[in-house]
Structure 1
Amino acid sequence: MHSQQLAIDTHRLRRLLDGINGFGFNPDTGGYNRVGYCEADMAAREWLLDQMRAAGLVTSRDGVANLFGRFGPLEGPCIMAGSHLDTVLEGGAFDGALGVAVALECVLAMRDAGLSPRLAIEVVATAEEEGRFGGMLGSQAISGALSAEWLSQAADADGVRLINAMAAQGLNAMDALQAGRTDISAFLELHVEQGPVLESRSMPVGVAHSVSGVCNLRVRLEGEANHSGTTPMDLRADAFAGLAQVGTAIPGIIAARGSENSRITIGKADLRPNFIHTIPGEAEFIVNIRDIDGAAMDGLATAVRDEVETAARANSLEAKVQEQSRIEPVHLDRGLAAMLHEEAQRLGLQALAMPSGAGHDAQTMQALCPSALIFVPSRGGISHSPREWTDWSDIEKGANLMLSALIRLSGAAG
């Protein structure tokens, strides 16, 4: 059967996505809360594992709670397809979960059509992709990119250590060191774009050629907490004033050292004592730096560090800057990208070659095997928000492109 004659079942795909999103939903906000290794995250994994078993897939779970469902030969290499199940706090319904549901639906469509892959397909739901602990833990474990030192030191923005969060779910963080795979021939991921480009150009799908790297700098500014009414403005050591100076310098840093692919964000900040009548004595914040060029990312990080020092001197503060985590930018496999463009053309779809400003499992997996990333449009470019939305007509197009690619790569035949 030619891949053009086969299509995914959109109704079943919706049910799969709704099933995943039955976990961690906040009815007050419309957001989803499945942060890595929380109860809702682990419950969603158990539900998905049951769905894959019921579908006749051979299932397994590794030491970091990555889930796998194998379709086809039990031995030998495989094509891996999927994404992640975890969310940011108050995240959207599509980020990650859609890619897992699409991968499973593609396998179910092939099964129902009586297609047997010569090369096995493994559906994967990776763990802790959203970077609660500073990396993309699930795919880093699969690709063998973790160290015992990092695992023992990793902590989230609230100081919760990775080893403790995993232990609370019956997992040993050091088992991540045995989770590496050597039998994956290619990795394919479908994801919402999380940006406005596809929608603005009326393009139904995108094929990423590169993925931005991410560097997180943890900055601590120390001044002196004091009375807001009795301390003259020129005699203050105001930690928030230093933070604000760094924040307002970001556009200038981008203009001087960056490009259209550069991003700098302060998205997490804490003030102490954090009281209305008290000058903040301490400010701690994370500076998130992204670029598709590693040298450019280094330049931006240097500029941020310089600006922190300037702000500290100007406001009588002590400054400490530590690199909390770093993921290098990557170029995805050109051969797989070309194949996706060919399959899109065969299906009558226009596909835009584009970079990804957001990090994804595909970038981590590229170090292990050829990897590719399909994008579907995000309405208004909104993601990491309850307002995240992708039209189902676009989802269907992207899912059928994934199906066509998996049939071709696996050599499936009736």
Structure 2
Amino acid sequence: MIVGKPAVASGKWLRPDRLQADLVTLASFGGLANGGVTRPAFSQAYREAVVWLRTQMNDAGLTVSTDAVGNLIGRLGPAEGPAVICGSHIDSVLEGGRYDGALGVLAGLECARALTANGQVPARALEVVAFVDEEGAFLSLLGSRAMTGRLQKSDIVRAAASDGTRLVDVMETSGLDSRQAAWARRPPEDFNCMVELHIEQGPVLESALLDIGIVTSVVGLHLSRLTFSGQAAHAGTTPLDTRRDAMRGAAEAITRAFEALERDFGPDVRLTFGALNVLPGSSNVVPGLVVMTCEIRAESEQTILELARDVELICRDVAAHRGLGFRRQLLSYDPPTAMSARIIDVLARVAGELSFSHHLMPSGAGHDAQSFADVCPTGIIFVPSQNGLSHNPFEFTAPEYIERGLRLLHAFLCHRLFASA
């Protein structure tokens, strides 16, 4: 028998159809003709979505508040004491999908509705949270980092979008005072535990025909900016052997870095050269400057640091050979984060009791939950992603998998909310 009040944990009052309708409605804010969503944090579409979500929380009987950085919080149960935190984010990448983040927030809301409909008052409070800017339009994991005290004042002052728009300015437009951001921090005793339901964003569960993934850890993420500086010159009159071609150096370094990755590191390590800016950016000018990002993800901190070192050595060697300048700037580093063994065990046991096939697995993507791992027991539930797609307009999770994720989340929440200890 599932731990918790049996009638509550049974999920009788859950309405998966209402959750599906909510997903459709939320996707209309920033919705695109191809079915995708563009709803970056603090955008007009995002602000409209927050207004809609606040109304849904109020209608569900939650006490709703917004903290100093813009996290939207709906609380059910006792006004005082530690809360079970359940949430994710509703911001999206450009041309993203309708499930990433949104599922975790709306599933938490549906669980709260079921509790209210049942009329049971939990012994502990439940907080359904929509964390702001998980995707990093301005500052990745902004909301969850602020709530758990992992954010510095200087982080907010420096943060800006890719077009140069400052975080402090968009916060002001949204009615928030960036100087008060520290007030979002809450002490560890405010949290009983944190759980996040999320789409997998990869192909593992679908390929294995599994219902549920239970996350054991979130991989570490090392992000740096690499700059090759050469000399702009006429593309038609400058011989190859006299050029200081920044693009040629960058291309050579990228190729050698991937060769080193495949030769010296395992298949689960990820290396990505993403944003690439070539200047002056003309077809008839030898590039004089190339600025690019380098992202490394792995479960092992040692692996991350070793690969980062190797990439830098390769870049410096190429730059010296090509007569280029080179500079590396560390933008951010989040070490690998383990989830709570106790939460993993409970989720696995409850999934088994619900007859859901499940698999213990790491997460290759970052999530708000990782910000809580050092302050309270934390867990993440995955449901399958069709074709492994995410951050894509064709992101999709079948309704039957969403329902199973919802039921597991609800049963787990009942276990935490109604348990005597």
TM-score (norm 1): 0.95
Q: Does 1:93 align with 2:101?
A: no
TM-superposed CA distance for 1:107, in Å, is 0.9
> Matches of 2:338 and 2:418 in 1, distance apart?
26
Secondary structure of residue in 2 paired with 1:290: strand
Alignment counterpart, residue 76 of structure 2, candidates 71, 75, 82: 71
Counterparts of residues 15-414 of structure 1 (less than 5 Å): 15-27=21-33, 29-182=34-187, 183-411=190-418
Q: Which runs of 4+ in 1 moved over 4 A?
A: none
Q: Secondary structure at the match of 1:86?
A: coil
Whole-angstrom distance in 1 between the partners of 2:402 and 2:419: 23
Contact kept, 8 Å, 2:84 with 2:124, in 1: the verdict is yes
SS of residue matched to 2:376: coil
Give the CA deviation at 1:215.
1.2
Paired residues, number: 412
Partner Cα distance (1:265, 1:157) in 2: 18
Identity of aligned residues (%): 38
Other-structure match for 2:17: 11
Question: 1:341-366: CA deviations, max 9, x gaps?
Answer: 11101111111000001000111111
Amino acid at match of 1:151: I
* Structure 2 residue matching 1:31: 3-state secondary structure: coil
Higher deviation after alignment, 198-207 or 237-246: 237-246
Q: Is the 1:257–1:296 Cα contact (8 Å) retained in structure 2?
A: no
SS in 2 for 1:32: coil
Partner Cα distance (1:174, 1:320) in 2: 32
User: 1:165 deviation in Å?
Assistant: 3.0
What secondary structure, in the 3-state scheme, does the structure 1 residue paired with 2:10 have? helix
Shift of 1:367: 1.7
Which region of structure 1 is more displaced relative to structure 2, 371-380 or 177-186? Answer: 177-186
Q: Give unpaired runs (5+ residues) of structure 2.
A: 1-6
Alpha-carbon deviation of 1:297? 1.0
RMSD, aligned CA? 1.6
Partner letter of residue 375 of structure 1? Answer: F
Deviations, residues 272-312 of structure 1 (Å, cap 9, x unaligned): 12122222211111111111111211111111111221222
Is residue 116–residue 412 contact of structure 1 (8 Å, CA) maintained in 2? no
Aligned residue number for residue 3 of structure 2: none
- In structure 1, distance between residues paired with 2:112 and 2:257: 45
Q: 1 CA distance for matches of 2:192 and 2:369?
A: 13
CA, structure 1 residues 134+300, in 2 after alignment: closer, same or farther (shift >3 Å)? farther
TM-score calculated relative to the size of structure 2:
0.94
In structure 2, C-alpha distance between the alignment counterparts of 1:157 and 1:294, rounded to whole Å: 28
- Distance change >3 Å, CA 5–CA 107, structure 1 → 2: closer
- The whole-number CA distance in structure 1 between the counterparts of 2:416 and 2:35 is 38
